[in-house]
Structure 1
Amino acid sequence: MIIGCPKEIKNNENRVALTPGGTLSLVGRGHTVYVQKGAGDGSGYTDADYAGAGAELLGTIEEVYAKSETIVKVKEPIASEYALIRKGQFLFTYFHFAGSRDLTEAMVKSKAICLAYETVEAPDGSLPLLVPMSEVAGRMAVQEGAKYLESPSGGRGILLGGVPGVMPANVLVLGGGIVGTEAAKMASGLNANVILMDISLVRLRHLAEIMPKNVTLIYSSEYNIRQQLSRVDLIIGAVLIPGAKAPHLITRQMLGEMKKGSVVIDVAVDQGGCIETCHPTTHEDPTYVVDGVIHYCVANMPGAVPFTSTLALTNATFPYLLQIAQKGWKQACADNAGLAKGLNVVEGEITYGPVAEEFKQMS
């Protein structure tokens, strides 16, 4: 198979989808690997590293797309890449289709095969290619929240963990999945008062066994969320419905109940966001203010820590990429039902239920 790894061109996206180690494994099995020059720079991998592993280096993203049967990326293609994608080409990356009509329409029109990291399933129903970046994003959300609570960043001037004699910050985490769990662990480890909400009593019971005493677990409902809004300093939105658009748990009207200078971090922004006033931002321009509340909605948070993120991601994605390379995507998906769940768009058809439902008028 001919596999191409282009350099990510989304704003401040410094991760890379294939390491020199992965390249060596693929080339050693007889596959051809094209890597765009500079693709690994942000993650600490040089062109010489890739060449030494057997990759052929290409100077432009256009060359990578033109010569490759399979494209492996980190983030979804952006508008300047749409025209480079051709019929029958296989793309393996994060897509988050439900959050972008333009991207969905472009991939349908291209008649490419789009296998999305975020909807690949393990036998137990978990999402193995979403987990590592969710772990990074959950932990980062607390770091960023703590920073933007500082006065120079426009925040209320609160130290997340407080000090003896002074109350710590109050943190509300919406969603008890991987992102929410990691965020709650980080915030509680910094001595904040944490409230973690979820709609699954089974999940809440499990979290009750592993969370420290400064994490309070509450069933998620509009009433219970409203009860906390006037008290909290930091909200972390961590809601996930696999492949589907996130529900708005905090509306514009509800936002007015929060204190001026408080902060919201919406990690679900890739999927439309769980806070109505959120829209995607970049690491270059990460925040904006609505009703006195600071919004941090960077859509590729792990891109800010590319060394950690690249290794965490490729540890999870490479075994699947190897299956695809060895068998071809059709046979790999036939043999692995969990991998097949990642097929979102196939040769002009939306094949993943939640995305099809979101854009049913296109089907």
Structure 2
Amino acid sequence: MIIGCPKEIKNNENRVALTPGGCLELVRRGHTVYVQTGAGVGSGYDDDAYVESGAVILPTIEDVYAKSETIVKVKEPIASEYDLIREDQFVFTYFHFASSKPLTEAMIKSKSICLAYETVEAPNGSLPLLVPMSEVAGRMAIQQGANYLEKPKGGIGILLGGVPGVKPAKVVVLGGGVVGIQAAKMAAGLGAQVILMDINLDRLRYLADVLPANVRTVYSSEYNIRKELSTVDLIVGAVLIPGAKAPHLITREMLSEMRDGSVVVDVAVDQGGCIETCKPTTHADPTFVVDGVLHYCVANMPGAVPYTSTLALTNATFPYLLQIAEKGWEKACEDNAGLKKGLNVVRGEIVYQPVADAFGM
């Protein structure tokens, strides 16, 4: 198989979808690997490392798309890439289709095969290619939230963990999945008062058992969320419905109950966001203010820590990529039901129901 790894061109996206180690394994098995020049620099891998692993370096993104049967990426294609994707070309990356109708329509038009990292399932129903980046994003949400609570950054001016004699910040985490548990652990470790909300009672029981004493679990409802808004310092949106648009748990009207200088970090923004006032931002311009509340809504948060993120991501994605390379995508999906669930758009047709539902298609 001919596999291409282009350089990511989304704002401040420094991750890369293939490491030199992955290239070496593919080349040893007889596959051809094309890597765009500079693709790995942001993650600490120069072109020479890829050449030593047997990859061929190509100068432009156009060259990589034109020569490759399979494209492996980190983030969804952006508008300038849409016309580079060919009919029957296989694209393996995060897509998050439900949050972008233009992307969905472009991939339908291309008649390519789009397999999304975020909807691949393990036998136990977990999402193995979403987990590593969710772990990074959950931890980063607290780092960034603590940073933007500082007065010079526009926040209320509170130290997350407080000090002796001064109470700590209050953090509300919406969602008890991977992002939520990582955010709660980080916030608790820094000494914050943490409230973790979810609608799954079994999950709440488990989290109550394993998380520190300064994390309180609460059933998620509009009433219970509203009760916390007037005294919360930091809210982390960590809601996930696999492949579908996230529901709005905090509306614009509810936001008015929060204090000026409080902060929201919506990790769900790449699936439309679970806070109505959120919209995707970039690492270059990460925040905006609505009704006095500072919003941090960077859609590729793990891209800020590319060394950690690239290794965590490729550790998870590479075994699946190897199956695809060895068998072809159709046979690989036939043999692996969890991988098949990653198929979202195939030759002009949406094949993943939550994406179709998001746009009434």
TM-score (normalizing by structure 1): 0.99
Q: How far off is 1:147 after superposition?
A: 0.3
Q: Give 3-state SS (helix, strand or coil) of 1:39's partner.
A: coil
CA distance in 2, matches of 1:86, 1:182: 39
Alignment-derived partner of residue 141 in structure 1: 141
CA distance in 2, matches of 1:102, 1:141: 28
Q: One-letter code of the match for 2:190? A: L
* Aligned residues: CA RMSD: 0.3
Alignment-derived partner of residue 185 in structure 1: 185
CA distance in 1, matches of 2:359, 2:225: 29
Q: How far off is 1:52 after superposition?
A: 0.1
**Does the alignment pair 1:75 with 2:75?**
yes
Q: How far off is 1:290 after superposition?
A: 0.1
Alignment-derived partner of residue 234 in structure 2: 234
Q: Give 3-state SS (helix, strand or coil) of 1:318's partner.
A: helix
Percent of aligned pairs with the same residue? 79
CA distance in 2, matches of 1:297, 1:71: 27
Q: Give 3-state SS (helix, strand or coil) of 2:240's partner.
A: coil
Alignment-derived partner of residue 152 in structure 2: 152
- Residue-by-residue CA offset, 1:189-224 (whole Å, 9 max, x unaligned): 000000000000010011011000000000000000
CA distance in 1, matches of 2:307, 2:271: 25
CA distance in 2, matches of 1:159, 1:11: 30
Q: How far off is 1:357 after superposition?
A: 1.0
CA distance in 2, matches of 1:209, 1:244: 30
- Residue-by-residue CA offset, 1:126-167 (whole Å, 9 max, x unaligned): 000000000000000000000000000010110000000000
CA distance in 1, matches of 2:71, 2:262: 41
Alignment coverage as a number of residue pairs: 361
**Does the alignment pair 1:265 with 2:268?**
no
CA distance in 1, matches of 2:154, 2:59: 42
Q: One-letter code of the match for 2:355? A: V
CA distance in 2, matches of 1:225, 1:156: 20
Moved over 3 A (4+): none
CA distance in 2, matches of 1:208, 1:322: 39
CA distance in 1, matches of 2:198, 2:50: 44
Alignment-derived partner of residue 315 in structure 1: 315
CA distance in 1, matches of 2:195, 2:265: 15
Alignment-derived partner of residue 297 in structure 1: 297
Q: One-letter code of the match for 1:275? A: I
Q: Give 3-state SS (helix, strand or coil) of 1:57's partner.
A: strand
Alignment-derived partner of residue 215 in structure 1: 215
CA distance in 2, matches of 1:80, 1:222: 40
CA distance in 2, matches of 1:62, 1:2: 15
Q: One-letter code of the match for 2:244? A: A
Q: One-letter code of the match for 1:180? A: G
- Return 5+ residue gaps in structure 2 as ranges: none
Q: Give 3-state SS (helix, strand or coil) of 1:74's partner.
A: coil
Q: How far off is 1:360 after superposition?
A: 2.4
Alignment-derived partner of residue 339 in structure 1: 339
CA distance in 2, matches of 1:236, 1:259: 16
Q: One-letter code of the match for 1:210? A: V
CA distance in 2, matches of 1:300, 1:210: 29
Alignment-derived partner of residue 114 in structure 2: 114
Q: One-letter code of the match for 1:101? A: K
Alignment-derived partner of residue 224 in structure 1: 224
CA distance in 2, matches of 1:328, 1:255: 49
CA distance in 1, matches of 2:250, 2:222: 8
